[in-house]
Amino acid sequence: MYEQILPDLYRIIIPLPNSPLKDLNSYVIKAADRNLIIDTGFNRDVCFRAMEEGLRDLDIDLNKTDFMLTHMHSDHTGLVSRLFTDSSKVYFSRIDSSVFNENIDWQAMLDYALQNGFQLEELVKAVESHPGFKYSPKKIPEFTFLDDGSIIEIGDFQLKCILTPGHTEGHICLYEEEKQLFFSGDHVLYDITPHIESWSYETNSLKNYMESLDKVRNLPVKLVLPGHRNLFTGLAGRIDELKKHHENRAKEVLEVLGVNTMGAYDIAGGMTWDIECENWEQFPTTQKWFAVGEALAHLLYLEDQGRIKRHKGEKTDTFSAP
């Protein structure tokens, strides 16, 4: 199944079972000599079947097809390992490509989680159930690296790469200036709010995200094609809503903290979340991982602004009013 958006531009909706995201928008640009698929879905059979059906209905020859991955998360990259051929180019962020480096130090991120309140047993469960570990590509292609300003030409589409760090450090959006199309990946979504998390004190993800929103706010855009849910118009208005949302979340963090000195794990437990659980203890472990990561993004954002202080602890770091 597919949906035609414009001449030579289509959307295949890839289901993401057991994910609050529900599905992924995979975009297909057809051209006489080469095709381009933007984002792919998890490395799961259910995703592969949906993609296979859509490509068959569109009469897409994978031997004449290239791929563009907006960022490293497995719901966008996972299936590429089952789709690319020897003739395919796989365009990918130079920055985000490091996640597929066998030498990457995952232990540093786990140590950081422990330092911010996770218990070891809970952390093991979080890692084992994390979709990024379960559904990532099993065969890594040779990437054609993208940087800010890179151009991908496919048919009569000229796609300019815009580096938009925040959701990931190397997230890339695509802008088609003549057609005024903006492929926003997970940078700007309409029906839901992009997840912003920090898993290193060296990366102020929320500050980067807010600056990246400003970077694209005033682009002349007729249609936004996001990674999830509905297509939409009114890019600037949606960006203003997202910025206000995160300022409100930062205020909520300050309210939870109050006059106390607390760790990120406990602060996340005091925040409001759109999940059907009566209390923090009932949260699925994977959702706790995402919640603490989001809380940390807002805490580091507030620390950078001088609105809170961070205290290094022997086992657990804490935060307080300055």
Give me the pLDDT at residue 140, please: 87
Q: Across all residues in the chain, what is the average pLDDT?
A: 94
pLDDT surpassing 70 at residue 116: yes
pLDDT surpassing 90 at residue 268: yes
Q: Find the mean pLDDT for residues 23-38.
A: 98
Q: State the DSSP H helix or E strand holding residue 72, giving kind and residue range, or none if neither.
A: none
pTM of the model as a whole = 0.95
Confidence band, pLDDT 50/70/90 cuts, at residue 102: low
User: Structural domain boundaries of the chain?
Assistant: 3-132+142-320
- Alpha-carbon distance of 282 to 278, in angstroms, equals 7
What is the distance, to the nearest Å, from the Cα of residue 232 to the centroid of all Cα atoms in its chain? 18
Partner residues linked to 9 by β-bridges? 6, 29
The domain 3-132+142-320 belongs to what CATH superfamily?
Answer: Ribonuclease Z/Hydroxyacylglutathione hydrolase-like (3.60.15.10)
- 261 in Cβ contact with 211 (< 8 Å): no
pLDDT surpassing 60 at residue 101: yes
- State percent of the chain over pLDDT 90: 84
pLDDT digits (tens, 9 = 90+) for 69-89: 999 999 999 999 999 999 999
Q: Find the mean pLDDT for residues 114-139.
A: 80
Q: Find the mean pLDDT for residues 12-36.
A: 95
Give first-to-last CA distance, the chain, whole Å.
55
Give me the pLDDT at residue 60, please: 98
Give me the pLDDT at residue 139, please: 82
Give me the pLDDT at residue 216, please: 98
pLDDT digits (tens, 9 = 90+) for 186-209: 999 999 999 999 989 999 999 999
pLDDT digits (tens, 9 = 90+) for 46-66: 999 999 999 999 999 999 999
Give me the pLDDT at residue 104, please: 59
Give me the pLDDT at residue 132, please: 66
What is the sign, positive or negative, of the torsion defined by CA atoms of 193, 185, 140, 149?
Answer: negative
Give me the pLDDT at residue 29, please: 98
pLDDT digits (tens, 9 = 90+) for 231-267: 999 999 999 999 999 999 999 999 999 999 999 999 9
| Distant-in-sequence contacts of 155-158, Cβ < 8 A, 24+ apart | 155/8, 155/29, 155/30, 155/31, 155/32, 156/8, 156/31, 157/8, 157/9, 157/29, 157/31, 157/36
Strands (E), 51-150: 65-69, 90-93, 143-146
Average the pLDDT over each of 35-49, 99-113, 168-182, 271-285 and give the range with the smallest value.
99-113
Q: Find the mean pLDDT for residues 269-280.
A: 92
